[in-house]
Structures are given as structure tokens and as C-alpha cells.
């Protein structure tokens, strides 16, 4: 390898080190980016974006394309213009030790500004090929707001095309249908709603609303404090007991949100010297908790238990603790974690397990307890984290587990200790929701009747719904522009569902995300099917011929 290629390879290494925050000695040349270093698709996008700016290349890398530092470097070596030297230090530094070389590369990278960055132009993102990934911060802009100006132009263009509909305001209660102000048409419209997580309809139940109203008169609007100081009420304690009972665990801790529950729990329990091992499709709150912890992060391919076992075996001799983390239901794919196999591997390799029950609670299991009940493994998972903003129809997050672990988290989970709690009226509404869910199992029966009908019908029509087995049914499209066009066509027809692109999924994996509710009628489902088929035909979406026939 000549000196120029060595400089490029060292720059790649330095940028990877800057984004991953790993010490130089942890970045072995043949370390697997995903499995060994826990570099997910969003982090990889930031790395590639910065390297393209530094080296004036247009390399496109998907998570599975370059699995080691060596192969990633090779892609940039192959494309780097001969006349553009890599921003690297002098010959004296190249002869220094690897740690010094990496530090110098980071410093050089920070000082280097490519012409496109200096002018604020984003030529690599121009035109219809641009995606949300092109505006991830990468440390090359001298002004951190530069990317916001570039994104504003991109956002404006997409809005003019009818693609950016995010954040439109609803008016009144939302159930199977919703009144939403359509910015593109400048008027309020009624939509068939397939974008809500109000799976059991509890958010609109009059008994829940009455409980909220009564508690607001008794406790006021909010507690204005953290739980450890002045934020705990009897209503919060009742809620924690009810959630622990639902999950069959000793104790529970309620957080301000499901996101903060993952963030605080993971960061409190693992740290430098430990390993945290997660599914590549885990929710962003899990990934951020893993990054915040400082533990060695590893990712295994989605629901691939053989790959997980290989990873555990390969690093079995590494000191420190191990935590395996996975979604119960994967939020953009709708499939369920392979929990029985995962628990066997955890026991074999002495690892603890955390399962995120955000889309499982109130949906899976005979009583809606979640993933563990679905597999008849209730009480067997070390920690279950969840949110109360979906099937339970409220707000906040929680974690359940052994009493001694929960008690530890009360003092060491920073997102609990240093944050105001959910208001007592919200907690009172959640207590009512849990009581109703237990007393009216027919809600869960109606939900699953709707799920089965819509999923079977979509499969029969030839849509790619992957391995969904929950209230989340994806329609995988792949191309981001085609997905945006599909979303626009559906909204024009009066169906409101989520169009998911990066960073919700990796580039090239765009999809529609359909959420099924127990309040949907058979007429709603049939109308949605007609609209989806019409939109697919209008946009020439390829359907699976074997099923479509």
C-alpha cells in the first residue's frame, strides 16, 4: 500500500474512532463493524458522510456492504481522486505509533474543509437521489448550523412534492378515523387512521378520562418535581404495583417516557468493561442507551440466534458483564423476538436479558401482558421495559424486574432521578386503563381479529408484509422516493399511515407502517385495502406475483 492509500486508511480509521468513541486499541483492522463494534446504520451513515466530505468521494455503503475497517477503507481508496490528498499528517507522524497516527488524523480531519462544505453546497445530495441520511451531522462543517440550512432546502422541496406530511395537527379525538389539517390542501380532512398506537382504544374511554379529571382536581396539573424529591404520589405507587402484577414481577419503576426508561436502565446497569449485545433493528432508545453506557457495543443480524451465539462464544473470555437487549415487537417490522432461543443462549453464556415491551404490552399474550406471556415465559426475563403511550393510552415508561434491581435503579438511573415524573392525573388514567384491559379481554380479541384479517388480505394481494405478527404491519417498498409517492397517493385517497424512511429504517428499506386498532371496523379495513391496491397500481409498485395471482 502506497503512502496516499495509507493516509486514506488512517483517515477512515480516525473517523470511525471519532464516531464510535472507541479507544484506538479496540479498533482492530479486522474487527466487524456491526458485530464487534456495534456500529449501526445511522452511525455508519455519519461516518460515510464525513469521509465523503473529507476525501471528495461519493461512496455509498449499506450496513452489510463493508464489514471490517479494512473493507471500508478499500472502498474509499478505490474512489479517492488521485489529485486530492487525504487530509493526513506529515511523514514523521506516519512513522509514529498507531495511537498517535489516529489522533493526528482526527485533528487533520477536523481542520479540513472540502469546497462543497465551504460553500454550503451539498452536491452529493443534490437532486432526487438525496435522502435524510445526507444531512446527518459529521463534524466537517465549521458552523454546526450549516447542515440545517441544507436540510431546510431539501425539506421545502419535499414538501412542495407532497412528500413531507410529518407533524400535521389532528383536531379532536382520534380513533379509527381522525380529523387532520392537511397542510398541502389547506383544509381539515377526515382520514382513515392507521398511524395510531392506541391499539385497544383506551385513550378515548370515558372511564379513563373521568379518572384523569378526578385526579387533576385532587392532585393538580402536575407534581413539578422528580420522584425522589417531591414527585411521588400514591397514584404513582399504585401504578407501579399494577404494572408489576401485569408482568408477574416483584417491582416496577415508572419513568417520564419509554425512551428515558431504556436510556436510564441500560446506562445504569452496564458500563465500561461490560458488553451490551443487541439486535440490529432495536429501537433508537435502546441504541442510545447502549452508547451512553460506555460499554462495548455489539450488534447481531436481525433475530439471528446463530449469529448471536457465535458472537457470545467469540467474546466469552472478555471480562465484565453481558446484557442482551432486544425489542419484543420490532417497531418498524412488526415481528417478534425469538425469545425462547435468546433466553437459552443468555443462560448458557451467563448474560442478563432486557426486552423492550413498547409494542407488546396490551397486544401480545392471552391477557396482553406482552412477549413473555406470548411464549409462556412470564417472569423469566431479567428486565422488561415498556411505554404507556401506546396500548395503555397514556404517557410514561416503566421497567419491571427483581425488587433489588429496581431499587438500585431508583438511585442510579439518571433519567429517573433527575427528571420530573408523569403527572398524577396521567398515572390515574393509566390505572383505569389497566383495570379496563383486565376486565374486558374482548378488546384484545377484536384487535387480533382485525390484525389477522388485514395481514392475510395484504399477503393475498401480493404486498410484502415481511414476518409481521403484531399490530404493526409493514408494507416494504425499499426505494425511498417510491415509498414517499405511495404515502402521498394514500393520503390523497384519505388513508393516513406512516411513511418510514431513514433514520427510522436503513436507506433502501423504506416502507409504509400500518398500525391496526381494535376500533377499526371491517368496512375500514376493506376501504384501506382498496386504497392500498389503487395506490400500488398508480405508482407501479411491484407486488409478489405468486400471491397476487
The residues that are catalytic are 331, 359, 390
Q: Are 545 and 462 in contact (CB under 8 A)?
A: yes
- The strand pair at 472-478 and 397-401 is best described as unpaired
User: If you search the block for the grid coordinates 495509507, which residue do you land on?
Assistant: 6
How many CB atoms neighbour CB 62 within 10 A?
14
- DSSP 3-state of 93: helix
Q: What are the CA-CA distances from residue 82 to residues 49, 111, 114, 440, 463 (Å)?
A: 20, 21, 15, 70, 46
Q: Are 93 and 123 in contact (CB under 8 A)?
A: no
- DSSP 3-state of 165: coil
- The strand pair at 352-356 and 472-478 is best described as unpaired
Compute the half-sphere exposure of residue 214: CA atoms within 13 Å on the CB side of its CA. Answer: 12
Q: Are 215 and 424 in contact (CB under 8 A)?
A: yes
How many CB atoms neighbour CB 214 within 10 A?
14
Query: To 10 degrees, what angle do helices 424-439 and 206-219 make?
Result: 150
User: If you search the block for the grid coordinates 433466553, which residue do you land on?
Assistant: 343
Three-state SS string over 407-451 comes to: HHHHHHCHHHHCCECCCHHHHHHHHHHHHHHHHCCHHHHHHHHHH
Burial class (CB in 10 A: 0-12, 13-18, 19+), 377: middle
- DSSP 3-state of 78: helix
How many CB atoms neighbour CB 501 within 10 A?
23
Q: Are 473 and 363 in contact (CB under 8 A)?
A: no
How many CB atoms neighbour CB 307 within 10 A?
16
How many CB atoms neighbour CB 4 within 10 A?
15
CA distance 181 to 487: 16
CB proximity list for 503: less than 8 A, separation 6 or greater: 41, 42, 45, 132, 133, 136, 284
How many secondary structure helices (H) and strands (E) does the chain include?
21, 14
> Between vectors from CA 169 to CA 219 and to CA 395, what angle results, nearest 5°?
35
Query: To 10 degrees, what angle do helices 424-439 and 234-247 make?
Result: 30
Amino acid at each position: 500500500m502506497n503512502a496516499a492509500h495509507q493516509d486514506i486508511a488512517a483517515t477512515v480509521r480516525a473517523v470511525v474512532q471519532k464516531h464510535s468513541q472507541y479507544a484506538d486499541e479496540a479498533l482492530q483492522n479486522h474487527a466487524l463493524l456491526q458485530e464487534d463494534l456495534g456500529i449501526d446504520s445511522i452511525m455508519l451513515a455519519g461516518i460515510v458522510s464525513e469521509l465523503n466530505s473529507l476525501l471528495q468521494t461519493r461512496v455509498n455503503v449499506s450496513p452489510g456492504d463493508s464489514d471490517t475497517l479494512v473493507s471500508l477503507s478499500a472502498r474509499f481508496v478505490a474512489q479517492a481522486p488521485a489529485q486530492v490528498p487525504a487530509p493526513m499528517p506529515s511523514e514523521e507522524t506516519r512513522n509514529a505509533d498507531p495511537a498517535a497516527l489516529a489522533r493526528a488524523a482526527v485533528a487533520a480531519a477536523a481542520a479540513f474543509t472540502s469546497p462543497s462544505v465551504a460553500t454550503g453546497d451539498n452536491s452529493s445530495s443534490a437532486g432526487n437521489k438525496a435522502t435524510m441520511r445526507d444531512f446527518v451531522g459529521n463534524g466537517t462543517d465549521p458552523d454546526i448550523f450549516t447542515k440545517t440550512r441544507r436540510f431546510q432546502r431539501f425539506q421545502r422541496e419535499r414538501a412542495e412534492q407532497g412528500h413531507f406530511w410529518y407533524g400535521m395537527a389532528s383536531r379532536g379525538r382520534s380513533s379509527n378515523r381522525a380529523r387532520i389539517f392537511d397542510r398541502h390542501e389547506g383544509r381539515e380532512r377526515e382520514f382513515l387512521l392507521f398511524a395510531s398506537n392506541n391499539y385497544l382504544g383506551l385513550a378515548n374511554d370515558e372511564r379513563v378520562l373521568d379518572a384523569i379529571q378526578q385526579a387533576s382536581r385532587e392532585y393538580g396539573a402536575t407534581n413539578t418535581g422528580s420522584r425522589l424529591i417531591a414527585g411521588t404520589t400514591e397514584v404513582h405507587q399504585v401504578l407501579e404495583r399494577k404494572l408489576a402484577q401485569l408482568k408477574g414481577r416483584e417491582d416496577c419503576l415508572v419513568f417520564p417516557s419509554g425512551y428515558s426508561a431504556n436510556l436510564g436502565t441500560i446506562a445504569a446497569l452496564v458500563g465500561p468493561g461490560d458488553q451490551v449485545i443487541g439486535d440490529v433493528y432495536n429501537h433508537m432508545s435502546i441504541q442510545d442507551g447502549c452508547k451512553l453506557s460506555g460499554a462495548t457495543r455489539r450488534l447481531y443480524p436481525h433475530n439471528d440466534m446463530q449469529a448471536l451465539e457465535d458472537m457470545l462464544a467469540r467474546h466469552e473470555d472478555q471480562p465484565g458483564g453481558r446484557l442482551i437487549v432486544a425489542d419484543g415487537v420490532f417497531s418498524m417490522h412488526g415481528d417478534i423476538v425469538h425469545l425462547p432461543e435468546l433466553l437459552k443462549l443468555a443462560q448458557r453464556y451467563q448474560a442478563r436479558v432486557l426486552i423492550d415491551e413498547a409494542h407488546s404490552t396490551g397486544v401480545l399474550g392471552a391477557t396482553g401482558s406482552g412477549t413473555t406471556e406470548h411464549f409462556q415465559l412470564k417472569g423469566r426475563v431479567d428486565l422488561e421495559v415498556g411505554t404507556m403511550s401506546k396500548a395503555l393510552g397514556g404517557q410514561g415508561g416503566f421497567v419491571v424486574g427483581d425488587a433489588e434491581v429496581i431499587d438500585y435503579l431508583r438511585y442510579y438511573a439518571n433519567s429517573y432521578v433527575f427528571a420530573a415524573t408523569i403527572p398524577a392525573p396521567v398515572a390515574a388514567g393509566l390505572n383505569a386503563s389497566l383495570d379496563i384491559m383486565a376486565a374486558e379481554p374482548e378488546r384484545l380479541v377484536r384487535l387480533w381479529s382485525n390484525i389477522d384479517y388485514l395481514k392475510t388480505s395484504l399477503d393475498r394481494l401480493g404486498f410484502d408484509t415481511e414476518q409481521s405478527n403484531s399490530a404493526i404491519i409493514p408494507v416494504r417498498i425499499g426505494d425511498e422516493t417510491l415509498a414517499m409517492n405511495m404515502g402521498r397517493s394514500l393520503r390523497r385517497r384519505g388513508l393516513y399511515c406512516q411513511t418510514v424512511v431513514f433514520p427510522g429504517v436503513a436507506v433502501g428499506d423504506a416502507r409504509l407502517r400500518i398500525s391496526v386498532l381494535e376500533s377499526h371496523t371491517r368496512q375500514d379495513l376493506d376501504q384501506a385495502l382498496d386504497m392500498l391496491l389503487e395506490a400500488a397500481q398508480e405508482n407501479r409498485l411491484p407486488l409478489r406475483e405468486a400471491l397476487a395471482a
